[in-house]
């Protein structure tokens, strides 16, 4: 038994393996080829029930579509991560207090180191603080042309450039309450016979009334302590606005009773952080 | 063998034929088809074992060849390039239909055996077919092309895109496995 014999035997016996027919079906296959090429997509392996073959071009287009989808997904993920990281790295929203200016009218007994101080440091040195009239007594004096005296400016005197809308509302609220405190202090210390002062206070109260309404409709009013204060302040301001030059002492007494009964002044001073800009 | 006739075609003829086909000459397409279809069909049939599949593989081979002929760079002969497509189409197609073939094997095998009983011993024929079918694709393709269809290792190398040494190695492996599978028939080749 030799290798040559085995190879010869194998070749001879294997000739019958899948032996094709003697005649190649040339015409049949040519017709089928022409028909398939005319139809467009190639058909293979089907015999009577042809099935479409995945052509290289189709496969290529799928790859490109997949790559495009992956690129879009990658881009969207990157943008999302960027936005998320930007929002998470932004400075936390803090309660913003007005710029640190010392006013002689400040009568708040809040100790230093209170939470308000921390907030204060956030806005220290802002344009508001630099433009404020620090050290100018404002009790009994209606700010007419000053920056904070304009009610519209009070409501819209935007926050520092790097603060959030919430902190802007807080700043406006504190400034408004400070001005209200100044108005009420002026009201309580005025002379009962000074008709001209009544007119000025009425005009001042009217301006503060509109801002009070705006704050009541703002996120500031969501504070469970600040909202009742603003509502009581609104009531007092309405009473002051209704004071006419010929009003009786009883009218002013009613206002005084409201202030005392609701502890409006105390609550106002409590709501204003220590060292904040009062009535400026 | 038929291979000699096809190999006798000069590369100049092939180049001219390819140029005409790429230019859209329908007669050239038919000429190319007529030149190579017999051998492609035979090889497809050897690998598939069914006329229906062999036709499908042959048709797919020429359709693909006509589509890609424009990118044919002449690095191999047109015959080798066509056979390469044909073997690739056939082996890929057989993998896809392998499960179906396995299910239908008993019935088809019975038909084939019935047709060949006239010439060979039924037991040897059947055992041989089963043994060759059991070979891995890479061994079976080389064995069929070399020992059954008479391709040279150079041609197999070009067609299957494998080194010549690998072709020889695959053939040796195929023969060894068949020798074991057909050990019962040792007296026939020993005598």
Boundaries of every domain in chain A: 115-271
CA distance B143 to A27: 30
Tokens 């359709």, located at residue: B63
Task: Please give the residue range of the domain that contains residue B79.
Answer: 1-96
**Residue A89 pLDDT:** 55
Residue B125 falls inside a structural domain: no
Q: In this structure, what DSSP letter does residue A94 have?
A: -
Domain count of the fold of chain B: 1
With a cut of 60, say whether residue B166 has pLDDT above it.
Answer: yes
Residue B166 falls inside a structural domain: no
Residue A243 CB partners (closer than 8 Å, separation 6+): A198, A201, A202, A251, A252, A255
Token pair, residue A197, equals 């002062």
Q: Is the ipTM of this complex over 0.85?
A: no
**Residue A77 pLDDT:** 78
Are B83 and B155 a contacting pair, CB within 8 Å?
yes
**Interface size between A and B, measured as CB pairs under 8 A:** 120
Q: Which comes out higher in pLDDT, residue A90 or A16?
A: A16
Q: Does B47 touch chain A (CB under 8 A)?
A: yes
- pTM given for the model: 0.46
Whether residues A30 and B93 touch (CB distance < 8 A) is answered with no
Residue B79 falls inside a structural domain: yes
Q: Point out the residue among A16, A46, A47 whose CB comes nearest to the CB of B119.
A: A16
Q: Does B45 touch chain A (CB under 8 A)?
A: yes
Q: Which comes out higher in pLDDT, residue A27 or B13?
A: A27
Residues of A whose CB is below 8 A from B144: 14, 17-18
Closest by CA to A237, choosing from A201, A269, A185, is A201
Q: Point out the residue among A8, A20, A53 whose CB comes nearest to the CB of B45.
A: A20
CA angle A28, A34, A40 (to 5 degrees): 135
Whether residues B189 and A28 touch (CB distance < 8 A) is answered with no
Q: What is the pLDDT of residues B118-134, one digit of tens each?
A: 455 668 888 899 999 99
Residues of B whose CB is below 8 A from A58: none
CA distance A187 to A203: 12
**Residue A26 pLDDT:** 93
Check which CATH number belongs to the domain holding B16 and give it: 1.10.1740.10
CA angle B56, B59, B62 (to 5 degrees): 150
DSSP sequence for B126-162 = HHHHHHHHTS-HHHHHHHIIIIIS---HHHHHHHHT-
């Amino acid at each position: 038994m030799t290798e040559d014999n085995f190879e010869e035997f194998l070749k001879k016996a294997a000739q019958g393996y899948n032996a094709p027919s003697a005649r190649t079906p040339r015409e049949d296959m040519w017709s089928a080829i022409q028909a398939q090429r005319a139809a467009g997509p190639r058909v293979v392996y089907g015999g009577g029930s042809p099935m479409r073959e995945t052509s290289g071009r189709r496969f290529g287009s799928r790859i490109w579509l997949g790559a495009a989808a992956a690129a879009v997904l990658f881009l969207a993920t990157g943008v999302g991560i960027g936005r998320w990281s930007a929002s998470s790295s932004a400075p936390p929203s803090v309660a913003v207090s007005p710029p640190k200016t010392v006013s002689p009218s400040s009568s708040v007994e809040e100790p230093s180191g209170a939470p308000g101080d921390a907030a204060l440091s956030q806005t220290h040195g802002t344009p508001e603080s630099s433009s404020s009239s620090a050290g100018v007594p404002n009790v009994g004096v209606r700010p007419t042309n000053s920056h904070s005296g304009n009610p519209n400016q009070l409501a819209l005197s935007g926050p520092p450039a790097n603060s959030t809308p919430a902190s802007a509302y807080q700043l406006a609220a504190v400034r408004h309450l400070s001005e209200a405190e100044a108005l009420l202090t002026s009201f309580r210390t005025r002379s009962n016979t000074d008709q001209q002062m009544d007119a000025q206070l009425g005009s001042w109260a009217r301006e503060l009334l509109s801002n009070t309404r705006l704050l009541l409709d703002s996120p500031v009013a969501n504070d469970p302590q600040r909202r009742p204060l603003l509502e009581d302040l609104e009531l007092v301001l309405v009473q002051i606005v209704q004071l006419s030059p010929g009003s009786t002492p009883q009218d002013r007494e009613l206002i005084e009773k409201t202030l005392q009964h609701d502890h409006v002044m105390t609550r106002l001073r409590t709501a204003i952080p220590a060292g904040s800009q009062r009535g400026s | 063998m038929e291979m000699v006739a096809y190999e006798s075609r000069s590369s100049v003829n092939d180049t001219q034929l390819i140029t005409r086909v790429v230019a859209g000459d329908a007669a050239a397409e038919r000429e190319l088809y007529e030149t190579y279809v017999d051998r492609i069909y035979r090889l497809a049939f050897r690998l598939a074992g069914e006329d229906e599949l062999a036709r499908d593989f042959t048709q797919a081979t020429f359709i693909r060849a006509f589509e890609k002929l424009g990118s044919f760079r002449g690095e191999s002969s047109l015959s080798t390039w066509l056979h390469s497509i044909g073997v690739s189409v056939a082996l890929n197609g057989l993998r896809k239909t392998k499960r179906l073939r396995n299910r239908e094997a008993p019935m088809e095998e019975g038909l084939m055996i019935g047709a060949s009983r006239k010439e060979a011993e039924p037991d040897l024929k059947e055992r041989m077919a089963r043994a060759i079918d059991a070979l891995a694709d890479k061994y079976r393709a080389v064995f069929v092309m070399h020992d059954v269809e008479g391709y040279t290792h150079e041609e197999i190398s070009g067609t299957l895109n494998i080194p010549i040494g690998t072709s020889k190695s695959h053939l040796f492996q195929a023969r060894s496995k068949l020798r074991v599978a057909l050990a019962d028939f040792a007296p026939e080749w020993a005598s």
